[in-house]
Amino acid sequence: MKSLRPTALACAIVLAFGAATPASAQTNAEVLKELAALKARIAELEKKLAAVPEAPADGQQAQWGMTPEQAADFNKLVVKTEALEDAAIVPVTLRARLAPDDNRRMRAITLVIGFAVAYLAAAAAVVVLVGGYAASVLRERRAGLTLGATLAIVYGLLYGLVVSEEYSLLMGALALLAVVAVLMYLTRKVDWYAYAAVAR
């Protein structure tokens, strides 16, 4: 009978689990003391918050280094874009009334569109580009369409995985199972030993 000797892997596993367990658990007294300290800190922060004067409700206070007029114009712009954020084309009007000696300048405007629309646009661009290129290089339209359809299915699957946060692991596992099942079905009549004999 062989004697059991600890290998390096077994020692590493034991050390890792030993380091993962806490050295000592907190007692109830320590937990209550920490809870009391947190309550005192919350009360202190609430007092500081109550001491801060409230901003006037009419919006006449300057914000982010803007005059009240600039803040009002900015708020109109925010409301306008929020009302139209689901539209395909968003008309935006920007006006800046800065003093001539002000060094701030607008360098870029970014219009953020929804994730689904952006993903669809990017996936469609790649599918059309790769499918068209494959059809042109292979001189066979069917091959390009097949590759484009396959890419569209893959991008659709990836979109489903990204969007479904809680079920992404399950969906990924089912998708991989389906891919393996299809590959096994398509290659069930392949004589692999013939390929090995040719390779020798």
Record the tokens describing residue 33, joined without a space: 């003391």
C-alpha torsion 82→83→89→91, nearest 10 = -80
Window from 28-32, 79-83, 95-99 with minimum mean pLDDT = 79-83
Rounded mean pLDDT of 156-160? 89
How far is the C-alpha of 140 from the C-alpha of 136, rounded, in Å?
Answer: 7
DSSP 108-166: -------HHHHHHHHHHHHHHHHHHHHHHHHT-HHHHHHHHHHHHHHHHHHHHHHH-TT
Q: How far apart are CA 155 and CA 142, in angstroms?
A: 20
What is the reported pTM? 0.42
Average pLDDT for 17-39: 70
- With a pLDDT cut of 90, the percent of the chain lying above it is 24
Name the residue type at position 98. L
Half-sphere exposure (Cβ direction) of 179: Cα atoms closer than 13 Å: 10
